[in-house]
Structure 1
Amino acid sequence: MNGDGATPLVSVIVPVYGVERYLDACVEGLVGQTYRNLEILLVDDGSPDRCPAMCDAWTARDERIRVIHKANGGLSDARNVGLAKATGDYIYFVDSDDMVERNLIERAMATMRDYDADLVMFQFDTISEDGKPLTSSYKHNHYDDVIIMTPIEAIKAQVKAEIDGYFWSFVAAASIYRNHGFSFPVGRKIEDMARICNVIGESHRVVRIPEALYHYRMRRGSITGDWSMQLTRDWVRATDDRETYIVERFPELKNFMKLQQLIFFVNL
């Protein structure tokens, strides 16, 4: 166990690209976490604006922050680089244009301890470019009690779109990533859907807590802001990746996956 030996070290990985308007608000929420034993990895993905200098300035303000400057390779590549450099016992990914509640890590780690879990999910809400609350209809947030799930139960819920597929919506044990050759698909989008079940499937207990701890910013110019043929192709590849992992890792879910495909095409 890293850090002071008693408190697990949590690595927070933040890919940074073209977000100079939002970066400070994001990082302020991280350095202000009530859970203090963090390493915060700001991965500058060759950002063309003031973000590289802003990242460097943050290292002078908080010794827990490390900056990694790299050539632009996209979100997956930046996440992979951050994951390779992370030394924590737990991993958390944050998008650099979003905001977090200051007790997010504390609540996740307390839940890990209380329920002997290695993957904790939480609710989220949406905000505007100016940080104002927005109304959303995410059904992923439609629960009011703590939910304890096996990996198979959680995978089924994710495939049925009852659990969101965003990597910023959960904290997980680092061993889930390190012990299973995990990496995000470089050069593609919809990377969260492509790999979410790989993380769920290698956990031993998933716990969902009914607290909105993350604020997702809806803005123009985001990665999935405009649908395109490329996004369609990446979405298809992501669903294929997900199915391949599930069927190979959990053969007993093969018929379940066939049924979900049938339901999807009927609905389509």
Structure 2
Amino acid sequence: MVSIIIPIYKVARFLDTCVESVTAQTYRNLEILLVDDGSPDECPAMCDAWAERDSRVRVIHKPNGGLSDARNAGIAHATGDYIYFVDSDDAIAPNLVEDCLRAMRKYDADLVMFKFDTISESGRTLLSDYRHNDFDQVQVLTPVETIKMQVKAEIDGYFWAFLAPASTYQGTGFSFPVGRKIEDLSRICNVIGAATRVVRIPEVLYHYRMRGGSITATADPKLMRDWMKAADDREEYIDERFPELKGFMKLQQLNFFANLDYETMRQSLIAGLKIDPEDADALRRRIDGLRNDVEKDDSETIPDALLELLGILKLAVSNGVNGLVEGAAVPVGAVPARPGASGASVASGAGSVDSTGKDESDEQGEKPSLSDLFRDMREDWRQMRIQWVDAMQNAVEERQRD
């Protein structure tokens, strides 16, 4: 039996679509756990109605504690041999469970990952280009190979993007961190490390809805702090479980900062938020610490372009603390690497930065805007923002038609 856990909070508009996609699975031996996380709308009653309609549905009503707390409650009540998580505003393909179980048997794997697409609030399929989906052949991997791909952002950490045995979560001390966001990143490698063999199947089995009110689309000044805690959790687990990856982890975290945190900072600025000086300082210290660790390890080398990007990132953080806004001129001209590049590289046509952090284009009187600086940010984050805007536009158009 497969237990499907669906945490629920203020998603009345999408809940029926989500649960319908789960009850319609071609694999019928399911336990469907609807975890009402103290939702103040009609969701609790909707959950109870589903339990009356389908005997496989069980409802857990609990005080509001957040996504992690709701997932933990679902794990505690699950009785299936496998556990799968679905976000209550999304939907799944009818063959998801059946195809995952078939892949487990065929490839003798105990962790199955798959592709996903993105949909708007109205359910329209959106264009997206996530690196996670950039494969078209079955991949059979060891846990170490999979963890390396995850750390390099070639595999996303979404817990709805794979099916795992219940034994991964139960009786092992596993739990999601309560009171924090970015909970998936915090625990994804724990799940991978518990596997003996991983298989990735090139099938789109999940429909990820981009909407303005979701956790990932809501700007929050605490987000960076939670991300850093999640990154610490992941590194601590990998260092303990796979010590041979220690040098690899240090270098990849630097690459991750150079390619991702520009966008984190930009989104905070675009949203009109001020970056907390303590958070910015902690990020700068983290970058310096990782850089020192890697430089002491002869087995790993930091590419020169990455060193430049790290300096640019620290300047961007400082500018952010001082109130930099979208469109303002900044004294840097290099842009982060596009995804798929080897290491990190500077985009062609951008001004170079010398060891003092000065942009050579300054001498020519050119000061690139912030939007220019970030134009080649990691593709999946850029696409997420594009799809979010598209979803918001769809919502506006629908309201106007109504």
**TM-score by structure 1 length?**
0.95
1:57 aligns with 2:12: no
The residue aligned with 2:174 is 182
Q: Distance in 2 between matches of 1:26 and 1:228?
A: 26
1:191 aligns with 2:189: no
The residue aligned with 1:239 is 231
1:25 aligns with 2:17: yes
Secondary structure at 1:165's aligned position in 2?
Answer: coil
1:148 aligns with 2:122: no
Point out the structure with the larger strand share: 1
How far did residue 116 of structure 1 move? 1.1
Structure 1 residues 1-35: Cα deviation after superposition (integer angstroms, max 9, x where no partner): xxxxxxxx000000000000000000001111000
How far did residue 260 of structure 1 move? 1.0
Secondary structure at 1:120's aligned position in 2?
Answer: strand
Match of 1:132 among 106, 124, 138: 124
Identity of aligned residues (%): 70
Structure 1 residues 118-143: Cα deviation after superposition (integer angstroms, max 9, x where no partner): 11000000000000000111111010
How far did residue 176 of structure 1 move? 1.2
Q: Distance in 1 between matches of 2:10 and 2:98?
A: 29
The residue aligned with 1:84 is 76
Secondary structure at 2:239's aligned position in 1?
Answer: helix
The residue aligned with 2:103 is 111
Q: Distance in 1 between matches of 2:250 and 2:51?
A: 49
Secondary structure at 2:12's aligned position in 1?
Answer: coil
Secondary structure at 2:13's aligned position in 1?
Answer: coil
Which has the larger displacement, 212-221 or 222-231?
Answer: 222-231
The residue aligned with 2:250 is 258
The residue aligned with 1:93 is 85
Structure 1 residues 172-218: Cα deviation after superposition (integer angstroms, max 9, x where no partner): 01111124211000000000000000000111111000000000000
How far did residue 227 of structure 1 move? 3.0
Secondary structure at 1:22's aligned position in 2?
Answer: helix
Q: Distance in 2 between matches of 1:53 and 1:263?
A: 47
Match of 2:30 among 21, 38, 42: 38
Instruction: In structure 1, give the amino acid aligned to 2:103.
Output: T
Secondary structure at 1:256's aligned position in 2?
Answer: helix
The residue aligned with 1:6 is none
Secondary structure at 1:212's aligned position in 2?
Answer: strand
Structure 1 residues 218-250: Cα deviation after superposition (integer angstroms, max 9, x where no partner): 001110213332011000100110000000111
CA RMSD of aligned residues (A): 0.9
Instruction: In structure 1, give the amino acid aligned to 2:197.
Output: R
Matches within 5 A, 1:161-240: 161-240=153-232
Point out the structure with the larger helix share: 2
Instruction: In structure 2, give the amino acid aligned to 1:208.
Output: R
Larger RCO, structure (CA 8 Å, separation 6 or more):
1
Secondary structure at 2:214's aligned position in 1?
Answer: coil
Instruction: In structure 2, give the amino acid aligned to 1:68.
Output: I
Runs of 4+ in structure 1 off by over 3 angstroms are: 264-268
Instruction: In structure 1, give the amino acid aligned to 2:231.
Output: T
**TM-score by structure 2 length?**
0.64
Unpaired runs of 5+ residues, structure 1, are 1-8
Matches within 5 A, 1:7-26: 9-26=1-18
The residue aligned with 1:68 is 60
Instruction: In structure 1, give the amino acid aligned to 2:62.
Output: K
Which has the larger displacement, 226-235 or 136-145?
Answer: 226-235
Secondary structure at 2:31's aligned position in 1?
Answer: strand
Which has the larger displacement, 162-171 or 221-230?
Answer: 221-230
Q: Distance in 2 between matches of 1:262 and 1:10?
A: 38
